[in-house]
Amino acid sequence: MSKKEPTIYDLAEHLNVSGSTISRALSNHHSISKKTRKKVVELAKEMGYRKNSFASQLRNKKTYNIGVIIHELNSDFITSVLNGIGKVATEARYNIIIGHSSESSTKEIAIADNLLYQRVDGLITSLAYDTVNLSHYDPFIERGVPIVFIDRVPVDALGVKVVIDNKAAGYNATKHLIEQGCERIMHITADLSKNVYSDRFEGFKKALMGHNMVFEPEQLLITNLSEKAGVKIAQQILNMERKPDGLFITNDLCASVCMYHLKKNGIKVPEDIAIVGFNNDIISRIVDPKLTTVNYEGEEIGKVAATNLINQLSDNPSNSSYTIVLDSDLLIRESSQIKQHDILNDTINKS
Amino acid sequence: MSKKEPTIYDLAEHLNVSGSTISRALSNHHSISKKTRKKVVELAKEMGYRKNSFASQLRNKKTYNIGVIIHELNSDFITSVLNGIGKVATEARYNIIIGHSSESSTKEIAIADNLLYQRVDGLITSLAYDTVNLSHYDPFIERGVPIVFIDRVPVDALGVKVVIDNKAAGYNATKHLIEQGCERIMHITADLSKNVYSDRFEGFKKALMGHNMVFEPEQLLITNLSEKAGVKIAQQILNMERKPDGLFITNDLCASVCMYHLKKNGIKVPEDIAIVGFNNDIISRIVDPKLTTVNYEGEEIGKVAATNLINQLSDNPSNSSYTIVLDSDLLIRESSQIKQHDILNDTINKS
DNA sequence: ATGAAAGCGCTAACAG
DNA sequence: CTGTTAGCGCTTTCAT
């Protein structure tokens, strides 16, 4: 067992050439004859040679590793994002190292620290729910390691950001509810200091204004959008004397749980209360009634982010600061369809 | 930008000592005076020194990286497993590199290849749905890199395996349905060449036999347990002349979708058909009625696997071959409760 | 308690 | 087209 790994010198010895020739042959250097190259590649295969990436990285000061920090793992959206990043990265011969913060700023800092230690060439990150301070990203900037922020991005920091058009999404969701006849819509969302939530709220208000409705503070409810919060929200609504007739909840899981409890207590969805969620998680298609929700292509976000990062890595490390905004769709399903149309599948409203 | 990383020699120069002293001080070597050590540690902090892990790994032939291959990312179970692995690994100063195969054997091979290239010290893996051949793990074995298989494990291969007691889980789920009065239970599951599915099926049959029921081949249905399969299964059942009165579907998502469609077509759950799922994914708690399901602690599996692997790494590379079997619980919920008890929460049946 | 020096495996400038 | 050589940053044996 544990047989020694062959090195370029082992190959060199076998072929009676120098180490550099092997090295060059293996990296397709132009000044190596086809014959030699072929012989080398064949022998390498035969002997099970694998480049020692540590030696290589030590020499090159380049790791071909990209760090990815995400706030959670178990959502379709995140999986898609990772797939998108993975595809682009693999294509460009980069590895990705994934860390998930479980929405904890402390863990996010530990992961960032570790990725710095591992000397990733670049970083793609989405902030944890309670991340306020961004100083754990400073060392990357100091060392010229480019960072691309995705989805949950810092409002103030410099850098490249890839987000969906949350404002448009919020606007469209709300507009849809209004068009279905809702007159008192509640917006249930999370900490407004986060771009994703503040933008959706902006869109919400804009839609109300655009339809000559006034926004009253009681229409806004801030929670952490968890499974538990869904139960609490339902209870709160059940206790209200002036109940809403529409809910725009910015998370499918939370919206689903809330809907479940409203139904259990005799509220009819969508007749009494129409509901719109956010994310197009699988769950939105399985609850009864199916949940109207906002869909956005995680894979696209991942691809755009990775492409951008890798460009910065290879071409010009242009440390300019800009934001890439991607579209999203409103998927209209049963939970908000008060006015009946005949629909076979999801109705899609491009934002 | 891009300031140069300080090395031990930079520190050495500042303190007028040699590189080796710095190295030793930083790794708590016993023959370094407290004073020196303190000075070194302080200076290191001040200068933002970080050990170059590549140089270190090149020297030590040890990466402190553990590879983890899993078949999918977006399930609570997998997230828990990863958390479990992460906790133990971090504790022991190991990093984990996660690759997800998306249930594709081809991708699994590519990931294994890459992890080998990255020279992980050890590997934890769960097989993709269509993985049959295991030769991509041979190079690890040849190089003495220990492997721990978890959950979806090969029946025949050597090595350490961590699984749940699928047979007991299948037995308990089926027994529960029988006790609720079900007389014709269908078992809907996936490829029986996989240990997880064959064991559950074993348990299913054993429960029938134990209650003097005969197993007829029509009671077994093999699908891929996907979202789509759920729809198809429902249709198939609706078309049956002799309908089952109980379903044991070995995946929550699939069971939920199936239940949704049965309900939409007038079947009452659990009165007409009682349903039991598998995994205790969030979805099982949100569908209506809530789904009875089999719960097992992913975190525990992760912890046990990681602990075992790290032991092999540090102590004795005992290449013995054994299987660790963990318990699971049956969480009894509405979807299978025909006989009413008064329950407040989930009823737990320890297996 | 500390230093000198060799070497992990690879790459690239330089020389031919 | 190929070889020689130095060095990436760290660890460790041997010497003091």
Which bases of strand C have any atom within 7 Å of the beta carbon of a protein residue? 1-5, 7-13
**Which residue type does A81 have?**
V
Q: Which residue of A lies nearest to B97 if distances are taken between CA atoms?
A: A97
Nearest Cα to Cα of residue A85 among B99, B53, B335: B99
Among A83, A282, A288, the residue with its CB nearest the CB of B227 is A282
Whether the Cβ atoms of residue B128 and residue B112 lie closer than 8 Å to each other: no
Nucleic strand D interface residues, CB < 7 Å: A 16-21, 24, 29-34, 36, 55, 58-59, 61; B 4-5, 7-9, 19-20, 23-24, 26-27, 49, 51-52, 55-56, 58-60
Taking contacts as CB-CB distances below 8 angstroms, the residues of chain A near B66 are none
- The pLDDT assigned to A28 comes to 86
Instruction: Inspect the interface and report whether the beta carbons of B119 and A53 lie closer than 8 Å.
Output: yes
Instruction: Inspect the interface and report whether the beta carbons of A287 and B282 lie closer than 8 Å.
Output: no
Taking contacts as CB-CB distances below 8 angstroms, the residues of chain B near A256 are 286
- The pLDDT assigned to B342 comes to 45
Q: Which residue of A lies nearest to B114 if distances are taken between CA atoms?
A: A95
Among B48, B53, B73, the residue with its CB nearest the CB of A82 is B73
Listed in sequence order, the residues at least 6 apart from A116 whose beta carbon sits closer than 8 Å to its beta carbon are A139, A140, A143, A145, B50
- The pLDDT assigned to A314 comes to 80
- Supply B346's token pair: 């989930």
Residues B93-113 pLDDT 10s:
899 999 999 999 999 999 999
Among A50, A63, A282, the residue with its CB nearest the CB of B116 is A50
Give the distance, in angstroms, between residue A33 CA and nucleotide C15 C1'.
Answer: 19
Which residue gives the smallest C-alpha to C1' distance to D7? Answer: A59
Closest nucleotide to A35, Cα to C1': D1
Strands B329-332 and B147-150: unpaired
Instruction: Inspect the interface and report whether the beta carbons of B282 and A283 lie closer than 8 Å.
Output: yes
Nearest Cα to Cα of residue B271 among B333, B336, B330, B332: B336
Among B73, B118, B144, the residue with its CB nearest the CB of A1 is B144
**How far is A32 from A50, CA to CA, in rounded Å?**
20
Which bases of strand D have any atom within 7 Å of the beta carbon of a protein residue? 1-5, 7-13
Torsion sign (Cα): A270, A272, A278, A284: negative
Q: From edge to edge, which strands make up the β-sheet containing B274-276?
A: B220-222, B185-189, B246-249, B274-276
- Chosen for mutation from B68, B226, B227, B282 (greatest number of chain A CBs closer than 10 Å) is B282
Whether the Cβ atoms of residue A282 and residue A76 lie closer than 8 Å to each other: yes
**How far is A179 from A330, CA to CA, in rounded Å?**
14
Nearest Cα to Cα of residue B311 among B94, B142, B84: B94
Among B143, B256, B263, the residue with its CB nearest the CB of A2 is B143
- Domains of chain B plus CATH, in order, are 8-51 (1.10.260.40), 62-163+298-327 (3.40.50.2300), 166-296+331-350 (3.40.50.2300)
Per-residue pLDDT of chain B (351 residues; tens, 9 = 90+): 345 789 999 999 999 999 999 999 999 888 888 888 999 999 999 998 999 999 999 999 989 999 999 998 878 889 899 999 999 999 898 999 999 999 999 999 999 998 998 899 999 999 999 999 999 999 898 888 999 999 999 988 888 999 999 999 999 999 999 999 999 999 999 999 999 999 999 999 999 999 999 999 999 999 999 999 999 999 999 999 999 999 999 999 999 999 999 999 999 999 999 999 999 998 999 999 999 999 999 999 999 999 999 999 886 666 678 999 999 999 999 999 987 654 445 556 655
Per-residue pLDDT of chain A (351 residues; tens, 9 = 90+): 345 789 999 999 999 999 999 999 998 888 888 888 898 999 999 998 999 999 999 999 999 999 999 998 878 889 899 999 999 999 998 999 999 999 999 999 999 998 998 899 999 999 999 999 999 999 998 888 999 999 999 988 888 999 999 999 999 999 999 999 999 999 999 999 999 999 999 999 999 999 999 999 999 999 999 999 999 999 999 999 999 999 999 999 999 999 999 999 999 999 999 999 999 998 999 999 999 999 999 999 999 999 999 999 886 666 678 999 999 999 999 999 987 654 445 556 655
- Chosen for mutation from B98, B120, B121, B259 (greatest number of chain A CBs closer than 10 Å) is B98
Distance from the B209 Cα atom to the nearest Cα atom in chain A, whole angstroms: 34
- Supply A263's token pair: 């139904």
Taking contacts as CB-CB distances below 8 angstroms, the residues of chain B near A116 are 50
SS3 readout for chain B = CCCCCCCHHHHHHHHCCCHHHHHHHHCCCCCCCHHHHHHHHHHHHHHCCCCCHHHHHHHHCCCCEEEEEECCCCCHHHHHHHHHHHHHHHHCCCEEEEEECCCCHHHHHHHHHHHHHCCCCEEEECCCCCCCCCHHHHHHHHCCCCEEEECCCCCCCCCEEEEECHHHHHHHHHHHHHHCCCCCEEEEECCCCCHHHHHHHHHHHHHHHHCCCCCCHHHEEECCCCHHHHHHHHHHHHCCCCCCCEEEECCHHHHHHHHHHHHHCCCCCCCCCEEECCCCCCHHHHCCCCCEEEECCHHHHHHHHHHHHHHHHHCCCCCCCCEEEECCEEEECHHHCCCCCCCCCCEEEEC
**How far is A63 from B20, CA to CA, in rounded Å?**
26
- The pLDDT assigned to B156 comes to 82
- The pLDDT assigned to A157 comes to 81
Q: Which residue of A lies nearest to B254 if distances are taken between CA atoms?
A: A286
Q: Which residue of A lies nearest to B95 if distances are taken between CA atoms?
A: A114
Closest nucleotide to B56, Cα to C1': D10
Instruction: Inspect the interface and report whether the beta carbons of A227 and B282 lie closer than 8 Å.
Output: yes
Whether the Cβ atoms of residue A331 and residue A295 lie closer than 8 Å to each other: yes
- The pLDDT assigned to A294 comes to 97
Cross-strand bridge partners of residue B65: B95
- The pLDDT assigned to B263 comes to 95
Listed in sequence order, the residues at least 6 apart from A239 whose beta carbon sits closer than 8 Å to its beta carbon are none
Taking contacts as CB-CB distances below 8 angstroms, the residues of chain A near B95 are 97, 114, 118
pTM comes to: 0.88
For chains A and B, CB pairs below 8 A equal 118
Give the distance, in angstroms, between residue B21 CA and nucleotide C1 C1'.
Answer: 9
How close are the terminal C-alpha atoms of chain B, in Å?
59
Q: Is A135 exposed, middle or buried (0-12, 13-18, 19+ CB in 10 A)?
A: exposed
**How far is B159 from B323, CA to CA, in rounded Å?**
8
- The pLDDT assigned to A166 comes to 97
**How far is A200 from A278, CA to CA, in rounded Å?**
10
- Supply B251's token pair: 């995946």
**How far is A128 from A150, CA to CA, in rounded Å?**
11
Cross-strand bridge partners of residue B23: none
Look at residue A16 and give its three-state secondary structure.
coil
Distance from the A88 Cα atom to the nearest Cα atom in chain B, whole angstroms: 15
Give the distance, in angstroms, between residue A59 CA and nucleotide D9 C1'.
Answer: 10
Q: Beta carbon of A55 within 7 Å of strand C?
A: yes
Distance from the B223 Cα atom to the nearest Cα atom in chain A, whole angstroms: 19
SS3 readout for A166-191 = HHHHHHHHHHHHHHCCCCCEEEEECC
- The pLDDT assigned to A317 comes to 60
Phi/psi for A150 (5° steps) reads: -125, 150
- The pLDDT assigned to B349 comes to 61
Q: From edge to edge, which strands make up the β-sheet containing A160-164?
A: A95-100, A65-70, A122-125, A147-150, A160-164, A323-326
How close are the terminal C-alpha atoms of chain A, in Å?
59
Look at residue A75 and give its three-state secondary structure.
coil
Q: Rounded to the nearest 10 degrees, what angle do helices B76-91 and B298-314 cross at? A: 30
Residue B220's CB is within 10 A of a number of other CB atoms, namely: 15
